[in-house]
Structure 1
Amino acid sequence: MKKLILLTASCASIVAAMPAWAQESAEDETGGVQDIVVTATRQATNLQDTPIAITAVTSDTLEERGLKSTADLSQAVPNATFRRVQGAFGPGVSAFIRGIGQADTSLGSEPSVAYYVDDVYYPLLLGSNFDLLDLDHIEVLRGPQGTLFGRNSLAGAVNIVSKAPSLTEASAYVQATMGSYNRIDIRAGFNVPLTPNLGLSVSGVSKKRDGYQRMLDFRCDMERKGTSALSGRLPYSSAINTSANNFKADDCTVGRLGGEDVRAIRGSLRWEPVDNVSLTLIGDYTRDRSENPADKLLVVTGPGGANLQTQANYFGVTYDSRFVTGDPFTTYASYTDPVGAGVVIPLTTTGGESFWNGRANRGGASFSPVTRLDNWGVSAKLVVGLTDDIDLTAIAGYRKMTEDHAFDIDGSPLTLEHTLLNIGESYKNIEIRLSGKSDLIDWVAGGFYFEGDGFTHAITYSPQSAFFKIQNIKYTPLSKAVFANVTIKPLDGLGIVAGGRYSDDEKDVDFSNVLDTNPILDLTKGDTAFKIKPAATRFDWKLGVNYAFSNDLMVYASASTGARLPGYNTRPQQPSQVVSFGSDETLAYELGIKADLFDRKLRLNLAGFYTDYKSRYTNTTGAEINMIAGAARPGTCVIVPLPAGGPGATTCRTTPYNAATDGAQNPAAGIGVLSIPRTYFINTPGKVKGFEIEMEARPIDGLAINAAVGFAKFDSPDLKLPTRANDRLAGLPEWNGTIGIQYMLDAPQLGGTVTPRLDWFYTGDIKPSAARNTYNQPAYSLFNSRLTYHHEEHDVSVALGVTNLFDKRYYYNFFIYQDIGFPNVNGQPGTPRQWFVELSKKF
């Protein structure tokens, strides 16, 4: 962390050596930091005149830093964590701002960061890894943004703004990238003014890259290493690897994880029939067939339950470290049950519930580690200038998303638990706003309507918990809101902000999760079915004041509220686990400074915040007695109470039940019963405090420096429970930061410029588990480099780049499955060093 602070201070010191302080109004802005127009207040304003903590990233900045999707935003935004989620959660992006967020992509879980794409609300984390195609800029607003962005903007909002078609100039571009792991990316687009008041733009992208993690055939790899005895009777993952006296495979790779295969297209039509009317129609489609993220079995923490041991015995192996490859970029995951379909494995002498009972769908199950996502949408935005100072804006959008994904929970050739999901949602939303500006007051008022229709169809194939369950869920969310925001300017430079939003939200849920052994729904035999309607009506508000000492220096302070909608346990495995919980609610205070200094050679934005997390529903994991197990089915669990008082919580031992040492079976005491994982929800209010510093400098022509650092400290009574090993939020760093520097050199002999660039990204240490410190992720630094040649006359650029320049080994996250009763710990390894060559041409 000292390096982060020292480097930030060093960059500031370099800039501070410049000779003159900022004038009140810089007349010559050549070579200085440029203005960015944002719409965070639902009106077009200069970033530096907007009294909100915003990181605005332009398309040029994204290009310079090599950021291609929303999952890359952590490398540009302090106090924010955006990353592709672990494979169990499908093709989504976890989103956290200032320590608040959500990683679960289930339709039943509400996010804490609201996405808006060209003013249209996107309600899901699933499918939110948007390619930044034909983008003008991205605005990341710290939360809460409960008044103007509303629904689920508890942590903040991400506002993605595309380029509008030009009505006066035709243009086009094409960009091709080749790189490591057979990477081939093609991006292209064009803009055509069809008439003096009608313009069309179309853009598309194709991205293809092999995965950086290899899936290995376990038996083949053991034979290749000369340790074939360790494979027991486990079959080959691929018959082509079958060895003989004249053949032994030298590469046991049967698949890959972490690859990318995405196609997307976007079209926009802009019509301005008269000066005061503008209509923009947008359509887009994304097809994603990417591999699951890389996932690695890191540690086997015990032999697992009776079924896992029975399965291991069947193949003459032990569930132990033989399934840990030792290389972060290889895995023995097979996504296949090696037990054949219809096979019966009888109960063993150690007891246990037999999963393989001869049923046709027990055994032989094989799932694909490739995502199948289709996401398309259309929208319309109408802006009418009613007067010179008052505008009417109407926005309507429709989107449909469907996706399939599967997951192997442990990454071994045995079957601990597999999941297969088919998820979809269609929705429509409408927003109407009136806005106006005058010397005394700026104001906006409007209404919002959102309606969705979603479904989840899933299979949980779980030998560990001794069941095969089929889940069907239907969701119909409905949201209505009205809002208003005013900025009163009684004195020159002074602004007083007040805003409010009344919202009414509900979500009808029809849930069923049934065992394959029950011919009809039977809640007494392990099936789960219920209908529920999480709902909330609330009023959110904001008050603020800002004062501009000059055109280049503003201070502001604000207080605001926000909320995340109520929810329920999205993965109950039996009726005792059906539970709902209320809304998360916050009250946040923010104090900030925005300054353009040294004749606009330096931009410095600082913000400090304190968030009172008044209502915070968190989950506590454990296990409980399987209600269908009965007293005659011994297992490995003993009941212990949760610190927060969750009834029926259990803790699982690592050895099977033994009547001689454990005594008689006693379900009431948790002795000699089968257990299954479960989640309890408790309200654990907290406080978050921290700061962000963002700096951009252009001290001399051609030189550009950017730096940012963020710190967020979470404090909650929940973090001080005796059972917690960490007084930190699980999965999040307290510190993150970035520094980048580039210098554009004139190269007249080459007919253009040469620009080298270096970026450094810092992520503080991460505590992935609240219950243990064994698998913490140390802080790490990543470096990216890029060298770009641009030919001025032909507007052609060639770039050579390297990401993770020093080939740092790190993990995006760890999944401590032992916290929920499984005998394993997995990790999602970060990408190794990769190179690329990029050729682009503008017309």
Structure 2
Amino acid sequence: MESTGHWRKTLSYKKPTPSLARLSLVGAAISLALNPQLQAQEQESVSTDERIEAITVTAAKRSQVIYEVPIALSAFSGDALAAQGITDLTDVGKFVPNLNVTGFSAGHTSSANPFIRGIGLQDHLITTDPGVSVYVDGVYLGRQVGQNWNLNNIERIEVLRGPQGTLYGRNSIGGAINIITKQPDADSVSKITLEAGTRGRTKADAFINRGLTDNLSFNLNAGYNHRDGIGEFINVPNAEYDVGETREFYGRLSVRYAPDDDFSLVFTADANDGEGGLRPYTTLIDEVPNGAYYTGMRFGAPTPSGPLRNSDQADDPYDNATGTEEVTTVSNEASGVSLTADWNWSDTLSSRAIFSQRSSEYKAGLDDDGTIYALDHYPERGDADQTSVEFQLNGYMGDVDFVSGLYWFKEEGSNRQGEDSSFNGGPNLLELDQETTSRAVFVNVGYDVSLDLRVSGGVRYTRDEKQATANVGIGPFYSEDDWSEVSYDLSANYTMENGLNVYGSIQSGYQSGQFPARPYCLFGDPNCFVASDNITAVNYEMGLKGQLTDNFSMSIALFNTEYEDLPYQVSTTSEGGFNTTNLVVEQTSRGIEWESTAYIGDNFKLHTSLGYIDVDVDEQDGVKPVAPLTPELTLSISPSYEYEMASGAVLDFRVDYSFRDEMYGEPSSDPGRMTLLDSRELVNMDIAYTPAQGNWKLALYGRNIFDERYDNARLNTGDYILRILSNDASEFGLRFTAEF
């Protein structure tokens, strides 16, 4: 096996034995933490004699290496993503226990806000940070709106649940999501995928991989994706796009130079350009005697339109009754480059350096009242530029292995709601700017106590600095702050005689404090633009996972996580505008997670996942908050059947069922606030035909085949409720894939 420069022990797989368990534990700790690409190469060396192929990462199965990692982890291969109808990060959230991915972000169709075990982010403005970190090929993405989210040219996706504050660090108190793309190699591969379906789906994707010389290889992925909308802008006849319509071009180029087995250099560049219509949403006006919309009086002054009623909304909630053309269109552009260098200094010592620069920008914005009247409409633009550098030094000495590194991250970003946005008929200026600098040093050491028992521990020191400016029509107001924290990890993993692995771990996580997102409180309190304290988390977890038989694998995890100084975003209407403040809470999340894969007979396979979480939030001023956008129960069931025809052709049948329990759209469970989201059940299907000895496949797919319509989020401002609707109505079509 060719060394990656990150770990030189070669792993082979047979039925689990103590000696092999010892080796794979060492490799797992390092490859999972800091080098996902190595894990894929190690999996390629695994024998395929086993029925479940040692849980190679296809159809959400985990390899033997993953079994022995002492954390709760789910994984999807690129092929499994396509078979399950997964087209973006939001879809991933339908099939992982205790994961929910929602979209809000000023009505943008490309936003992705993951919540893992009750931790996430409802907002998107530059002064807020996500609670779940997302990485692409080891590069952290600072923003979760305006990014390149297409899931093409993907080797696999890993979802790590629980705080990952030692090796992943930045903003991972809820967990981390790793997106790993296919790396260039010497194979000559050309692949095209064409998709056409209802709702105007048109998609074309091409992938080319070539070895140019013995030392140089590249791959290129490019594509176009379009889907029609789900409603109309009934009062803007010249709107360029329908409600929820999406259109995107994307591309990624990777070049790998490896003059020998001890050094490699990978350069990657990617970009996307997307446009479309505003995400579907509707506004529920609070029709009570003192409601500002109901009386037509806001802060003692009449609104330009007079009283509003829910009858002023569109009859179909998926239509939009805005009269503001500026908010009907959303757009996003992202681009980035990265350079990854790997060195093997000896058989026991290696290093890696990752340099990255990324930029993203978006246009979006809501008309909050959702009517033809010019009352509360907020066209918005945002941008962010980030630079990161990470250096790793890794190796082993006898029974001891280590992972260590230095990390530097800088981000500059802004948000603007300018002259084309108004509040109460007049100009509304919201200007936010923030510069963030983060530095960290980390080390993790593992020790094989015996052939069956491994213990490991790590620490990470992080220091964050933020400088922010806010202007809400008065000001500007400037503020700065800094935070530092030491996070740690302790774990033990024991391999039993039957190959099952039992583990226990204590993980801590850290996130820097945050400034208010919409500080209209400045009108009444010029000193309110201050940041919250350090956010910390400690997770206690134990689990059991492995392959019980040739036909059955499973994993189960029990966890209890305690969070301190956790900010919830709470939004209200105020005299100046749409005010968002941080409600700082103490939270305890506890629960259980299960995943399994079973073969029943020769051709029938069943994958299941189940998550249950109980979240307790300390009382605040006599009020008992709840964790927003966190379903108590998550469930998925995915049966598939392979039928070989007499001609040698193969038919694959697959169904994917996903359930998400009811949840609250904001931190309040008060029935009067009407922010409870109903539970939802989604079903995808896929029937694929592969000819005998053919290099192509034709599939009939169906996504959300029963056309389940559900709320993605809800937000009560006091005068009205923003009801953000899903954008994934039913879709049926054909997908053609050819490889040559």
Matched, 1:322 2:311: yes
Distance 2:477 2:662 in 1: 41
Partners of 1:296 and 1:829 within 8 A in 2: no
**Residue in structure 1 matching 2:51, options 28, 31, 50:** 31
Structure 2 vs 1, CA of residues 796 and 748 (structure 1 numbering), >3 Å: closer, same or farther?
farther
Task: Report the alpha carbon displacement of residue 256 of structure 1 after superposing the two structures with TM.
Answer: 1.6
Structure 2 vs 1, CA of residues 198 and 461 (structure 1 numbering), >3 Å: closer, same or farther?
closer
Query: Residue type matched to 1:100 in 2?
Result: I
Matched, 1:78 2:64: no
Query: Residue type matched to 1:99 in 2?
Result: G
Partners of 1:295 and 1:828 within 8 A in 2: yes
Partners of 2:110 and 2:149 within 8 A in 1: no
Task: Report the alpha carbon displacement of residue 376 of structure 1 after superposing the two structures with TM.
Answer: 0.5
Tell me the equivalent position of 1:201: 219
Tell me the equivalent position of 1:375: 334
Structure 2 vs 1, CA of residues 158 and 742 (structure 1 numbering), >3 Å: closer, same or farther?
same
Tell me the equivalent position of 2:684: 784
Structure 2 vs 1, CA of residues 94 and 717 (structure 1 numbering), >3 Å: closer, same or farther?
same
For 2:329, what is the secondary structure of its paired residue?
coil
Task: Report the alpha carbon displacement of residue 23 of structure 1 after superposing the two structures with TM.
Answer: 8.0
Structure 2 vs 1, CA of residues 539 and 89 (structure 1 numbering), >3 Å: closer, same or farther?
farther
Task: Report the alpha carbon displacement of residue 759 of structure 1 after superposing the two structures with TM.
Answer: 1.0
Matched, 1:158 2:105: no
For 1:46, what is the secondary structure of its paired residue?
helix
| 1:664-675 matched pairs, under 5 angstroms | none
Distance 1:588 1:822 in 2: 39
Tell me the equivalent position of 1:612: 562
**Residue in structure 1 matching 2:207, options 189, 195, 203:** 189
Tell me the equivalent position of 1:748: 646
Query: Residue type matched to 2:729 in 1?
Result: P
Distance 2:529 2:555 in 1: 46
Tell me the equivalent position of 1:179: 197
**Residue in structure 2 matching 1:687, options 588, 591, 601:** 588
Tell me the equivalent position of 2:23: none
Number of residue pairs the alignment of both structures matches: 684
Tell me the equivalent position of 2:156: 137
Query: Residue type matched to 1:613 in 2?
Result: Y
Query: Residue type matched to 2:607 in 1?
Result: N
**Residue in structure 1 matching 2:606, options 677, 682, 705:** 705
For 2:87, what is the secondary structure of its paired residue?
coil
Offset from partner CA, 1:408-460 (integer Å, 9 cap, x none): 11322123311122211112111111111355112111100112222222238
Offset from partner CA, 1:577-623 (integer Å, 9 cap, x none): 42321121111111011120112x21101111001112222344556
Tell me the equivalent position of 1:361: none
Distance 2:677 2:407 in 1: 42
Partners of 2:159 and 2:175 within 8 A in 1: yes
Task: Report the alpha carbon displacement of residue 495 of structure 1 after superposing the two structures with TM.
Answer: 0.7
Partners of 2:241 and 2:277 within 8 A in 1: no
For 1:102, what is the secondary structure of its paired residue?
coil
Greater Cα shift, 675-684 or 260-269: 675-684
| 1:333-482 matched pairs, under 5 angstroms | 333-334=322-323, 336=324, 366-459=325-418, 465=424, 467-482=426-441
Matched, 1:529 2:517: no
Tell me the equivalent position of 1:759: 656
Partners of 1:458 and 1:470 within 8 A in 2: yes
Offset from partner CA, 1:262-291 (integer Å, 9 cap, x none): 111001111110111111111100111122
Distance 2:126 2:229 in 1: 28
Tell me the equivalent position of 1:13: none
Matched, 1:214 2:173: no
Partners of 1:457 and 1:471 within 8 A in 2: yes
Structure 2 vs 1, CA of residues 103 and 313 (structure 1 numbering), >3 Å: closer, same or farther?
closer
Distance 1:722 1:301 in 2: 26
Task: Report the alpha carbon displacement of residue 792 of structure 1 after superposing the two structures with TM.
Answer: 3.6
Partners of 1:297 and 1:331 within 8 A in 2: no
Offset from partner CA, 1:622-673 (integer Å, 9 cap, x none): 566x4xxxxxxxxxxxxxxxxxxxxxxxxxxxxxxxxxxxxxxxxxxxxxxx
For 1:397, what is the secondary structure of its paired residue?
strand
For 2:260, what is the secondary structure of its paired residue?
coil
Tell me the equivalent position of 1:502: 461
Tell me the equivalent position of 1:270: 256
Distance 2:66 2:277 in 1: 38
For 1:685, what is the secondary structure of its paired residue?
strand
Partners of 2:220 and 2:253 within 8 A in 1: yes
Task: Report the alpha carbon displacement of residue 29 of structure 1 after superposing the two structures with TM.
Answer: 3.0
Distance 2:529 2:340 in 1: 42
Instruction: State the TM-score, normalized to the length of structure 2.
Output: 0.87
Query: Residue type matched to 1:532 in 2?
Result: S
Query: Residue type matched to 2:269 in 1?
Result: G
Tell me the equivalent position of 2:280: 294
Tell me the equivalent position of 1:522: none
Tell me the equivalent position of 1:581: 532
Matched, 1:540 2:487: yes
**Residue in structure 2 matching 1:833, options 711, 727, 730:** 730
Distance 2:412 2:463 in 1: 17
Partners of 1:312 and 1:414 within 8 A in 2: no
Matched, 1:594 2:545: yes
For 2:462, what is the secondary structure of its paired residue?
strand
Partners of 1:602 and 1:699 within 8 A in 2: no
Task: Report the alpha carbon displacement of residue 801 of structure 1 after superposing the two structures with TM.
Answer: 1.4
Structure 2 vs 1, CA of residues 833 and 513 (structure 1 numbering), >3 Å: closer, same or farther?
same
Query: Residue type matched to 1:331 in 2?
Result: N
Distance 1:722 1:697 in 2: 49
For 1:72, what is the secondary structure of its paired residue?
helix
Query: Residue type matched to 1:528 in 2?
Result: G
Query: Residue type matched to 1:588 in 2?
Result: N
Structure 2 vs 1, CA of residues 35 and 463 (structure 1 numbering), >3 Å: closer, same or farther?
closer
Higher Cα Rg, which structure: 1
Query: Residue type matched to 2:260 in 1?
Result: V
Partners of 2:391 and 2:407 within 8 A in 1: yes
Offset from partner CA, 1:189-229 (integer Å, 9 cap, x none): 11111011211100012101111122223xxxxxxxxxxxx
Distance 1:103 1:150 in 2: 21
Greater Cα shift, 152-161 or 429-438: 429-438
For 1:403, what is the secondary structure of its paired residue?
strand
Query: Residue type matched to 1:191 in 2?
Result: N
For 2:165, what is the secondary structure of its paired residue?
coil
Distance 1:145 1:745 in 2: 42
Query: Residue type matched to 1:578 in 2?
Result: F
Partners of 2:609 and 2:635 within 8 A in 1: yes
Task: Report the alpha carbon displacement of residue 497 of structure 1 after superposing the two structures with TM.
Answer: 0.9
Distance 1:121 1:61 in 2: 24
For 2:676, what is the secondary structure of its paired residue?
coil
**Residue in structure 2 matching 1:332, options 316, 321, 336:** 321
Tell me the equivalent position of 2:67: 48
RMSD of equivalent CA atoms? 2.7
Tell me the equivalent position of 2:705: 805
Greater Cα shift, 381-390 or 22-31: 22-31
Query: Residue type matched to 2:586 in 1?
Result: P
Distance 2:217 2:64 in 1: 25
Distance 1:732 1:178 in 2: 34
Structure 2 vs 1, CA of residues 202 and 311 (structure 1 numbering), >3 Å: closer, same or farther?
farther
Partners of 1:147 and 1:500 within 8 A in 2: yes
Query: Residue type matched to 1:737 in 2?
Result: L
Structure 1: 5+ residue stretches without partners? 1-21, 39-43, 218-236, 240-252, 337-365, 515-526, 627-674
Distance 2:696 2:600 in 1: 27
